[in-house]
């Protein structure tokens, strides 16, 4: 398969390495030009290209860039056929990306991304840490294999994304349409918690839309306060703990509401 990856950070480079090793033809591009990533591309087994050259003839385009940069890609897709699968791996963090009113107001991140580039994208690999993607993949059928959520509106494009996720060493849970993709955004129980498929299904269902942004920002403040001293395992554990706290809070809130209603009836 001919795969173009726009973005040569940790996620983009890891995906390029994995796909190239699996026999796919991979072109890697960034915002600064191919001369800045030639050594990296050689190391991972990809070809360093401009963004415009990378997408020519591609069957799949994977976008792995900072969230706020998506409007810069609008013109990139003007000559790309409509049947090319586009996959979005990004996440919105206001401290880095600036405030985006529509997303702050509840529009799912990948819906917003699709509007910026002029076509819908499948959302995948956004809910795994870079180290998880690079180091935690396992063969299909392995016990405790980590699962990755994928959301999208086009069945064919989603099927291609699922196929590629399997190549990277993870099980897949269909998280629904793009309108449902908020369930795998930062601050949700499905985000960077390294769950099995059954656990991930439960996490997606237990997500609370009204609490996700607050969870995201609270966790980020905690991680930044740690000054980069938290290990990968500690970050995953803290994400999981936040899910437990959230679920406990919600159960207690529900019990209190039932008690209030009972009191109102007396």
- Tell me the C-alpha to C-alpha distance, in Å, between residue 171 and each of 62, 72, 75, 125: 19, 32, 34, 11
pLDDT at 242: 67
Q: Which one-letter DSSP state was computed for residue 147?
A: E
The top-level CATH class assigned to 66-213 is: alpha beta
The enclosing H or E element of 25 equals strand 25-29
- Tell me the C-alpha to C-alpha distance, in Å, between residue 239 and each of 75, 127, 194, 198: 37, 11, 9, 18
Q: Which residues pair with 86 in a beta bridge?
A: 61
- Tell me the C-alpha to C-alpha distance, in Å, between residue 217 and each of 145, 187, 232, 247: 28, 8, 19, 17
Provide the 3-class DSSP secondary structure of residue 173. strand
pLDDT at 158: 98
pLDDT in tens, the chain (266 residues): 999 999 999 999 999 999 999 999 999 999 999 999 999 999 999 999 999 999 999 999 999 999 999 999 999 999 899 999 999 999 999 999 999 999 999 999 999 999 999 999 999 999 999 999 999 999 999 999 999 999 999 999 999 999 999 999 999 999 999 999 999 999 999 999 999 999 999 999 999 999 999 999 999 999 999 998 999 999 999 998 866 544 444 444 444 444 444 344 33
Phi, psi of 156 (to 5 degrees): -65, -45
d(CA 230, CA 210): 27
Q: Which one-letter DSSP state was computed for residue 172?
A: E
The enclosing H or E element of 241 equals helix 232-265
Q: Which residues pair with 29 in a beta bridge?
A: 6
pLDDT at 241: 85
Can you give the pTM of this predicted structure?
Answer: 0.90
d(CA 231, CA 135): 14
């Amino acid at each position: 398969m001919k795969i173009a990856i726009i973005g040569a950070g940790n996620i983009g480079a890891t995906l390029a390495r994995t796909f190239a090793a699996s026999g796919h033809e991979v072109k890697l591009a960034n915002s600064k030009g191919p001369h800045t990533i030639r050594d990296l591309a050689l190391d991972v087994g990809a070809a360093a290209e401009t963004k415009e050259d990378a997408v020519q003839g591609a069957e799949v385009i994977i976008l792995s860039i900072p969230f706020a940069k998506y409007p810069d890609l609008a013109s990139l897709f003007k000559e790309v056929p409509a049947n090319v699968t586009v996959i979005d791996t990004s996440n919105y963090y206001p401290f880095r990306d600036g405030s985006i009113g529509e997303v702050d107001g509840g529009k799912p991140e990948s819906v917003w991304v699709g509007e910026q580039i002029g076509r819908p994208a499948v959302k995948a690999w956004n809910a795994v840490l870079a180290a998880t993607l690079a180091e935690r993949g396992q063969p299909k059928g392995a016990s405790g294999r980590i699962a990755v959520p994928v959301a999208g509106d086009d069945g064919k494009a989603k099927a291609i994304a699922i196929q590629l996720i399997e190549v990277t060493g993870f099980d897949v849970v269909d998280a629904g349409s793009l309108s449902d993709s908020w369930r795998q955004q930062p601050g949700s129980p499905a985000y960077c918690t390294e769950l099995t498929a059954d656990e991930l299904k439960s996490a997606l269902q237990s997500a609370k839309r009204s609490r996700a942004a607050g969870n995201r920002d609270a966790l980020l403040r905690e991680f930044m306060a740690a000054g980069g001293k938290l290990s990968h395992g500690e970050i995953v554990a803290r994400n999981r703990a936040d899910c437990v706290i959230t679920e406990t809070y919600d159960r207690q809130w529900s019990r209190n509401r039932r008690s209030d209603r009972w009191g109102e009836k007396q």
